[in-house]
Amino acid sequence: MTKADTRRFFVLGTLLCTVAFIVLTVDSHRTVVAREHSRALGDDVRRGLRVWGVYNCENCHTLLGEGSYYAPDLTQIVAQRGVPYLQAFLADPSAFYSEEEHRRLMPTLGLSAQEIDDAIAFLGWVGGIDTLGWPPRPIRVSGMPTRLPGTETASAASDPVTQGRQVFDATGCGACHSLEPGVMLVGPSLAGIARRAEERVQDAAYTGSAQDAEGYLRESIFEPSAFLAPPAGKHGTADGLSYMPGIYTNTLDPQAADELVAYLLTLQ
């Protein structure tokens, strides 16, 4: 390489890097407005952050993977659990967890109703941050499936039952329902649900309008509050609103719903 070559190489290299730097900087400034999510920062979110600090939630929990590792990561908790459940849980965690069973316990912090709503607003705001899937391995609430999204064994099978299992995983039903017998998360275990659905519609205490197991499963998914699975008082608010979110009419297309029901009907 001659001296002139070296100089050209240097000048050209510097120029290219400068152009790349400017383009990336402009691009960051263009997209950061949407990414940083600060426009959704309401007063309730700010107050919720205060609650988070004052009660030292971070001494036990992580957000965006940061904090302490005693209790679950709460980045997506509002999407996973829904507001009515979180309101009831934060008012009295001991109604949902027991030290003998879960080995870890969230203390009853004595939050006021206002503080609870603010904390949920804050957690909902955090959940809306585009983290590109971070944290990759969140600590889960006891009993939640540990399989990471996107690592399901891809299956070419197109039978409704296999598809239905995939719908179950992809829709996040497992955040609240275990498939292990006897493991209660937010909702009852769905092990043996096909048989139990059959029994439920024949039970005198049943208040919904389904005639058979399939109808019961559909009703459970699309109108969770039509009938609250026993034990009474455990799965919904005092005025009969189920902790199961009533969002699936809007988020599940009819084919996915058929497959999901076909899968649940195999859980004898």
Smallest distance, ligand HEC to C-beta of residue 24, A: 37
Q: Exposed (0-12), middle (13-18) or buried (19+): which is 29, by Cβ within 10 Å?
A: exposed
Q: How far apart are CA 228 and CA 236, in angstroms?
A: 7
Q: Does 194 interact with ligand HEC (rule: CB under 6 A)?
A: no
Show the binding pattern over residues 57-96: x = contacts ligand HEC (CB under 6 A), - = does not. x-xxx--------xxx-x--x---xx--xx--xx-----x
Q: Which amino acid is at 214?
A: E
> Can you tell me which residue has the tokens 């497992």?
174
> Can you tell me which residue has the tokens 């995983």?
169
For residue 244, how many C-alpha atoms fall within 13 Å in the half-sphere facing its CB? 24
Q: Does 184 interact with ligand HEC (rule: CB under 6 A)?
A: no
- Which of 40, 52, 34 has its CA nearest to residue 130? 34
Show the binding pattern over residues 195-224: x = contacts ligand HEC (CB under 6 A), - = does not. -x---x----------------x--xx--x
**Positions 238 through 257 that interact with ligand HEC (CB under 6 A):** 242-245, 248
* Total site size for ligand HEC, rule CB under 6 A: 55
Q: How far apart are CA 90 and CA 112, in angstroms?
A: 9
Show the binding pattern over residues 99-128: x = contacts ligand HEC (CB under 6 A), - = does not. ---x-xxxx-x---------x---------
**Positions 5 through 44 that interact with ligand HEC (CB under 6 A):** none
With respect to ligand HEC, which residue has the nearer C-beta, 37 or 245? 245
